[in-house]
């Protein structure tokens, strides 16, 4: 998606994109979506799920690190670190397949929702 177009969207639309990534990761991992926005450090499965959701919000929807940080209650440098860790995990073929599939799915769903909203 065109980053400049995405970043000119309203904060509510940007947050909705982050929530879509969050819901997809929560469904995939079994970690409650509310845990992904929890304000303090969590156990590894929750932290990894949050990192994945932040990564997808950045990569699939073009949100800046700052905007993703706002949506997840984290600093932009934390988001950058999460994205770097997740990108490194993509070297594993199973992780690559899973992330590619979920990324394609949330992009398709986002497009369908936007099309429906435009009617």
Domain ranges across the chain: 3-117
pLDDT score at 103? 95
pLDDT at 119: 66
Q: Which residue's entry shows tokens 């950058």?
A: 80
Total-model pTM: 0.86
Q: How far apart are CA 62 and CA 10, in angstroms?
A: 14
Q: Is 60 exceeded by the pLDDT of residue 16?
A: yes
What is the residue whose two structure tokens read 């509310």? 34
State the architecture of 3-117 in CATH terms: Orthogonal Bundle (1.10)
Radius of gyration from C-alpha coordinates of the chain? 13
Evaluate whether 65 touches 58 at the Cβ level (below 8 Å). Answer: yes
CB atoms within 10 A of CB 90: 14
pLDDT value, residue 11: 82
**87 has pLDDT over 90:** yes
Q: Which of 7-11, 44-48, 51-55 has the lowest mean pLDDT?
A: 7-11
Contacts of 38 (CB under 8 A, 6+ apart): 46
């Amino acid at each position: 998606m065109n980053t400049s177009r995405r970043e000119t969207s309203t904060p509510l639309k940007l947050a909705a994109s982050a929530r879509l990534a969050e819901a997809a990761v929560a469904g995939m991992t079994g970690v409650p979506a509310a845990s992904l926005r929890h304000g303090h450090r969590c156990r590894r499965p929750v932290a990894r799920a949050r990192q994945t959701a932040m990564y997808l919000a950045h990569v699939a929807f073009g949100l800046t690190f700052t905007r993703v940080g706002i949506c997840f209650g984290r600093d932009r440098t934390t988001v950058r670190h999460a994205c770097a860790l997740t990108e490194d995990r993509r070297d594993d073929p199973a992780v690559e397949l899973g992330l590619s599939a979920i990324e394609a799915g949330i992009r398709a769903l986002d497009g369908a929702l936007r099309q429906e909203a435009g009617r």
